[in-house]
């Protein structure tokens, strides 16, 4: 089978970057649907990162965890398209992944319990979706098949 939407790969400053948002969502949906049992009993589910797209960065910005350069912020506020595979797009997505990993680390430090990146992603995404109509922070615009 051929799933072009799963090949979420870019080159950033000469290095290949793999984000695989849709492929990870597929695995996470199976895991969640089967409640981590049966077909969803993945022993390595903690290896998944959050699903790097456009909604979670907005939520992270609203709570003060993620900040953009003034130049990038102006583009986003003016709804200027951020090209797919551009340095800016990759940086937004990669910094979002990193921020979620730091949130996980802080959670473990505070509560002494592990949490999956996908669970953090789901919580942040739901928070963002709940504020979709009232949020004053715009999301970045990128024309892509990957999210």
Q: What is the pLDDT along the chain (147 residues), one digit of tens a residue?
A: 789 999 999 999 999 999 999 999 999 999 999 999 999 999 999 999 999 999 999 999 999 999 999 999 999 999 999 999 999 999 999 999 999 999 999 999 999 999 999 999 999 999 999 988 888 889 999 999 999
Taking the C-alpha atoms of residue 30 and residue 39, their distance in angstroms, rounded to an integer, is 7
Active site members: 53
pLDDT at 12: 98
pLDDT at 63: 94
Both tokens of residue 56? 């979670």
pLDDT at 143: 96
Count of alpha carbons within 13 angstroms of residue 94, beta-carbon side: 15
* Residue found under tokens 């430090």: 109
User: Rounded to the nearest 5 degrees, what angle is found at the Cα of 23, between the Cα atoms of 18 and 26?
Assistant: 155
- Using alpha carbons, select from 103, 96, 110, 118 the residue that is nearest to residue 46: 118
pLDDT at 134: 87
Burial of 89 (0-12, 13-18, 19+ CB in 10 A): buried
pTM of full prediction above 0.85:
yes
Taking the C-alpha atoms of residue 94 and residue 21, their distance in angstroms, rounded to an integer, is 11
pLDDT at 138: 92
pLDDT at 127: 94
In what helix (H) or strand (E) does residue 18 lie, and over which residues does it extend?
Answer: strand 15-18
Taking the C-alpha atoms of residue 36 and residue 13, their distance in angstroms, rounded to an integer, is 38
Taking the C-alpha atoms of residue 38 and residue 35, their distance in angstroms, rounded to an integer, is 8
Taking the C-alpha atoms of residue 27 and residue 6, their distance in angstroms, rounded to an integer, is 11
């Amino acid at each position: 089978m051929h799933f072009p939407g799963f090949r979420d790969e870019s080159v950033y400053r000469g290095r290949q970057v793999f984000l695989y948002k849709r492929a990870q969502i597929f695995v996470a949906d199976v895991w969640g649907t089967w409640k981590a049992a049966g077909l969803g009993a993945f022993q390595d589910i903690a290896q998944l990162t959050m699903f790097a797209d456009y909604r979670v960065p907005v939520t992270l910005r609203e709570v003060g965890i993620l900040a953009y350069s003034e130049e990038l912020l102006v583009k986003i506020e003016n709804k200027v398209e951020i090209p797919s595979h551009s340095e800016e797009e990759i940086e937004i997505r990669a910094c979002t992944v990193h921020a979620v990993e730091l949130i996980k680390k802080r959670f473990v430090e505070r509560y002494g319990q592990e949490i999956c990146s996908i669970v953090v992603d789901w919580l942040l995404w739901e928070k963002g979706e709940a504020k979709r109509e009232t949020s004053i922070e715009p999301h970045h615009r990128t024309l892509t098949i990957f999210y």
